[in-house]
Chain A
């Protein structure tokens, strides 16, 4: 009895931070329509800054909490800085750019935090006055847990008063529904947006600071919390504070009970709950269906056009170069390092990976933030078959796309029920769950160590593998193009551009999207298997969020609206990565590059070819003049 109560109380206390973070995320999204991926980073900053403040002034009960509040305020101001410098410029940009831009912020904050607070995990002192434990039915519960349990409802009540009893709150709620109308009524949205980002960031910072005595601070906190916060928001319903509160408690309780039921995989419970909620309430426990923005002035996507001769010639030249590369390397060993082949090989399977993602993102209009799940899923399918059953390369390799497609079939079934950012968040959450299963299920997957020494058969020399990679990538990209210009591709694009009209002419959009998602997963799986057999090993890192973002970056670099995008983007990305790899601050450099790209080249590198300058260079068809 005592044990049960203490377990429940522990769960409730762990829900506090989660609620604060999820509430902040939800508030920012409600008004700005931007899902702030850097929200986890603000949580992490809250913990680090909180630690520094507590060290500096937090000796007494009062000054400790003052230190916590100062940390939250500082994080709020950092949020304001991000809003003014970055978000303001991209409120009208496509969702993807907003998400990618805030991802750039994550990378920058990671390096800044590493520079200031170092790599070591920080253990924070206990809060003065709350450093003991209380006894409940013979079980001990830290006093601080009780404080945490009280914080969440207090914040919830405070927020409700703010939103329902002040003019500012009324304006925020109005703007959540129709920000254009609010502007037409004379409200300067700019400060409303800034204020909302301040409040949301402050909550994230507060969440990070209040969990210090329990969890301390470390550099992995950002991705850990963001996936959980997404689950909370999806389960609770976006934009609903009460929903976030309920869901945080649900997840908090699941975490503590989950450990007792599935000691190895705590996230499995989360997965099950999320799955059940989504099947019965796709918009979350207290959420409402997403309504399309009531602006009606968006400019539709340009129709895709087959490649112009110039591009075909360029593609042919690149292909010829890649085919001749091994020969060229042998002829001119002084100019071309043997490493060039390895590099080309790596670029190639990333091209395939990026093309797979681009297929559902561009023509499909679905932004997946968890595509590494299928890349890694394919690789792990092959690796596990070899590792446990000793399957030869010839059987294990073709199994990769099948495994990845099955995974995509399951995950896709849930995801296509949602659209837009909800879809993105859900894919990210599923990918994080897939990652954690691989990471935690050591008996089967070897956990963190990964599966090593998986090599192809003897006949597949590095040279054969290179041509296999080249052949499969080229075939894959061509096949994807073929699909895009098939009736199925037309239906997919129709569903993206006008879902209602497509439904009305008898297209089952959800099924089309599900099918496309599965196809995309299969191609990502092939890329993953190529990765596995090139590297000889696979580890959970190839499934983590950062890997999914790599693929997104490649697609973005290349431009979402251009079919050649992923090809150009993957190459550009790998080159950038190699360029920054030498620097200690490669993350920050990458982050700044991403932010700069979003601000300066919103159409990506290949998209640039379709602008006026690109047309003059003959890189794409001239715009038809319309009467």
Chain B
């Protein structure tokens, strides 16, 4: 296994006075797809937001590609090559598909073939047919594709995907799984969070389980599948 590119250790976060994350630790290695599993409200999205500094951590260390990023601003973290795809998609509804991609564009990174709209349209053929459509007039699945494509325009080496399968039709979910596999082939690392164990199983190498803001389990996807006890304790409703 290669070296970790993202290391989170001892991280705490608060919303106002509410303590959301406590002592969260996880890591992602180069070329790996890691899933953070947990129920609604377990702290998955907050973990992601804390990593990209949309929520300020109150304690702990976050390291990306060997640099401390826990005191950096969001835009600096993004420029370092850490892409973030939010759960609510947050497409710019007034902007066209091409314009949405333009907002995400960042200079090419050494060692990676830069993403262009044309290259992205090969992965997301649907988007190619609606270049000039405003983001607000796209279906949920199309928006989800666009938000991933938009983040890829920043040429990240690690992508955080917040519940990519949420609210999507089964056919689209399968497409999404293929897309993540494709990104892995391109050499990207992916950290995704999910409630959908079935989807996670399709794409991930390793899994963490988070519950009430704390990491409760860590292991390979295969191990987790063997372990009925853990699944019952943290994942079934």
Contacts and interface: CB of A to CB of B under 8 A. Distances in A.
Interface of A: 167, 170-171, 173-174, 176-178, 180-189, 294, 297, 299-300, 626
15 contacts: A170-B102, A173-B92, A173-B99, A180-B74, A181-B86, A181-B92, A183-B74, A184-B54, A184-B84, A184-B86, A185-B75, A186-B104, A186-B106, A297-B54, A297-B55
A422 B90 CA distance: 24
Contacts of B86: 181, 184
B75 A177 contact: no
A184 B78 contact: yes
Interface of B: 15-17, 52, 54-55, 73-75, 78-79, 84, 86, 88, 90, 92-95, 99-100, 102-106, 150-151, 154
A192 to B, nearest CB: 10
A189 B103 contact: no
Contact of A177 (B54, B73, B94): B94
A299 B74 contact: no
A187 B15 contact: no
Contacts of A188: 75
A167, A173, A186, A299 pick with most chain B CB within 10 angstroms: A186
Contacts of A174: 92, 95, 99-100, 103
B75 A189 contact: yes
Nearest to A626: B17
Given A178-B92, A185-B103, A185-B106, 6 more contacts: A183-B73, A184-B86, A185-B104, A187-B75, A188-B75, A299-B15
A66 to B, nearest CB: 34
A173 B95 contact: yes
The 7 closest A-B pairs by CB, nearest first: A186-B78, A299-B16, A183-B74, A181-B90, A174-B103, A186-B79, A174-B92
A424 B182 CA distance: 51
A171 B103 contact: yes
A294 B75 contact: no
Given A173-B94, A177-B93, A297-B55, A182 B16 contact: no
Main DSSP-derived SS at the B contact region:
loop
Nearest to B99: A170
B16, B84, B94, B103 pick with most chain A CB within 10 angstroms: B103
Nearest to B14: A299
A94 to B, nearest CB: 15
Nearest to A186: B78
A100 to B, nearest CB: 24
Contacts of A184: 52, 54, 74-75, 78, 84, 86
A27 to B, nearest CB: 15
B155 to A, nearest CB: 10
Given A167-B102, A170-B102, A626-B17, A183 B88 contact: no
B52 A187 contact: no
Given A181-B90, A294-B90, A300-B16, A186 B102 contact: no
Contacts of A180: 54, 74
A177 B92 contact: yes
A185 B94 contact: no
B163 to A, nearest CB: 15
Contacts of B94: 173, 176-177
Contacts of A297: 15, 54-55
A300 B16 CA distance: 8
A81 to B, nearest CB: 23
Given A174-B95, A294-B90, A183 B17 contact: no
Contacts of B17: 626
Contacts of B16: 299-300
A459 to B, nearest CB: 56
Contacts of A294: 88, 90
Contact of B154 (A177, A181, A185): A185
A171, A177, A184, A300 pick with most chain B CB within 10 angstroms: A184
A187 to B, nearest CB: 6
Nearest to B79: A186
Contacts of B74: 180, 183-184
Contacts of A178: 90, 92
Contacts of A170: 95, 99, 102-103
A182 B102 CA distance: 11
Nearest to B102: A170
Contacts of A187: 75, 103
Contacts of B79: 186
Nearest to B156: A186
Nearest to B160: A184
A177 B78 CA distance: 19
A406 B160 CA distance: 56
A176 B103 CA distance: 12
A178 B150 CA distance: 14
B18 to A, nearest CB: 8
Contacts of A181: 86, 90, 92
A170 B134 CA distance: 13
Nearest to A300: B16
Nearest to A176: B94
A185 B160 CA distance: 12
A173 B151 CA distance: 18
A183 B75 contact: yes
A177 B134 CA distance: 13
Given A170-B99, A170-B103, A294-B90, A185 B15 contact: no
Contacts of A183: 73-75, 78
A185 B55 contact: no
Contact of A185 (B73, B78, B88, B93): B78
A240 B79 CA distance: 31
Nearest to A239: B94
Contacts of A189: 75
A237 to B, nearest CB: 13
B169 to A, nearest CB: 25
A341 B105 CA distance: 67
